[in-house]
Amino acid sequence: MKLYIDTLGRFDIRDDKKSHLSETARTYRLFKLFQYFITFKNRKILAETIMDHLLTDSETDDPKNVLRTQIFRLRQLLKKMESHHDDQGAHLNVVFTNGNYCLEIGPSVQVDVDRFQHLIQQGDNRKPDELRKAADDYLAALSLYKGTYLAENPYEVWLVPIRNYYQRLYIKTIDKTVDILNELEAYDEIISLCEKALEIEPYEESIHLHLMRGMLRSGKSKSALWHYEYTEQLLKKELGVEPSPIMKEMLRKIQSHFIEKVNLDIPIMDEKFVEGPDTGALKCDDEMFKFLYNIHKRQSQRDKEKDYICLITLKSPENFPQEQKQMQHWMTDMEVVLSESLRKGDVFTFWNDTQILLLLHRVKETGLKTLESRIKRNLFETNRKRYMEIKMQFHPITDSQHIMSGTSAR
């Protein structure tokens, strides 16, 4: 019976029936030594090298004796594991020769990193007319990568180069797989692959880009736009970085695809859609606003931070005649004020002659009053002579359906 050793993600030693770690009294140092030997399996290692890597924080005056004791206990553990199997001697054994220790891996042991590298090499060796087989090899390899190498030991210095090696190999293999799947026009497979990969490497920009390209090529422009917004916020919030030039170029491609699709389905959108200033909020028509609203609503259901919708209503005195020319002045002034007062990423639309809708992305409730004061102040300062008072109502986007239904379309 085979023994399977998992190192990519959660560490485990198992056979076809059960995990052997679940029934073992685990000690941190013993299993750290075991993982060290697994990492350098079938290689001779000086005792001093092992002590330098694993016993630097030991308070003992005799680290060699500590190491010998731990190796003795490790051998006992390996014998216990092997006792469950008929083919004894074909699994794991720690030997000592000329001052060197070596963990010998028998034919009945399969380590996931060996299988991982073998499948990648097999895919690399495929002939040019075997693209599907190569992709399947790579996909099988990628399915073995469940996470960072020996993730349970995040602070071991000796693990850093090994961990980085497998991480780079994983990302490089994703790139090769996506290239082949693009040739095969298997865009849904690209989307599925990247979505799974992002659960493991959520901050890897190249995977986000592959996913968005796959979405565009499969006609999922809306999904690509949503994912760009999600990625932009993720990088800002978790890493404190702005989108790279490549990411910004991807946004332009998404917008281009979306506009092309809208032109095909609803030709009037090309005439109605008006983009706001590059440095401020985006002005759009009511249909585009509804589309963006639905995207943000779905996203708000996942995120802790809220998106808000705001309804601005003109409050004219009873003795103030609402003539068309004056209303046009008000709309012109409000467009300037909102473009300058809101952030890039916020959206607004003139719902009718006296009402405006705002879509505010990721704002805190405590900042709403400040935003209201700023808009009203800027409106007053824009043109004091024709200033017209406004009323502003804010609601979380998940609780704003009555606002959407309560406004009157033009």
Same domain, 126 and 2: yes
Mean predicted confidence (pLDDT) in 157-177: 96
Q: What is the DSSP string of 388-402?
A: --EEEEEEEGGG-HH
Same domain, 281 and 333: yes
Q: Which of these, 63, 192, 209, 97, lies nearest to 139 by C-alpha position?
A: 192
Task: Burial-class residue 29 by CB neighbours within 10 Å (0-12, 13-18, 19+).
Answer: middle
145 with 249, same domain: the answer is no
Mean pLDDT on 151-170 = 93
**Entry pTM:** 0.63
251 and 229 in one domain?
yes
The verdict on 334 and 363 lying in the same domain is yes
Share of the chain above pLDDT 90, in %: 45
Which residues span the domain enclosing 63? 1-178
Give the residue-averaged pLDDT of 51-78: 84
With CA atoms as reference, report the closest residue to 379 among 327, 330, 315. Answer: 330
**Whether residue 281 is found in the same domain as residue 259:** no
Percent share of the chain, pLDDT over 70 = 81
Measured CA angle at 261 (ends 255, 263), to 5 deg: 100
Q: Which residues of 195-214 are buried (b: 16+ CB within 10 A; e: fewer)?
A: eebbebbeebbbbbbbbbbb
Instruction: Verify that 25 and 130 share a domain, yes or no.
Output: yes
Q: Which of 265, 296, 324 is the last residue of a domain?
A: 265
Domain stop point among 221, 240, 265: 265
What does the alpha-carbon distance between residue 122 and residue 282 come to, in Å, rounded to a whole number? 50
Is pLDDT of 219 > 70?
A: yes
Q: State the CATH number of the domain containing residue 192.
A: 1.25.40.10
Domains held by the chain: number: 3
pLDDT at 389: 87
Higher pLDDT residue, 57 or 40? 40
CATH of the domain at 94: 1.10.10.10
Residues 328-346: what's their mean pLDDT? Answer: 86
The residue among 59 and 187 whose pLDDT is bigger is 187
Asked if pLDDT for residue 167 goes beyond 80, the answer is yes
Half-sphere exposure of residue 72: CA atoms within 13 angstroms, side-chain side: 6
How many angstroms separate the CA atoms of 350 and 312, rounded? Answer: 9
**396 and 259 belong to one structural domain:** no
The radius of gyration of the chain's CA atoms, rounded to the nearest angstrom, is 31
Residue 152 vs residues 37, 52, 207, 236, 272: alpha-carbon distances, Å:
16, 20, 24, 27, 55
| Domain end among 210, 231, 265 | 265
71 in the same domain as 45: yes
The segment with the largest mean pLDDT, out of 73-87, 282-296, 381-395, is: 381-395
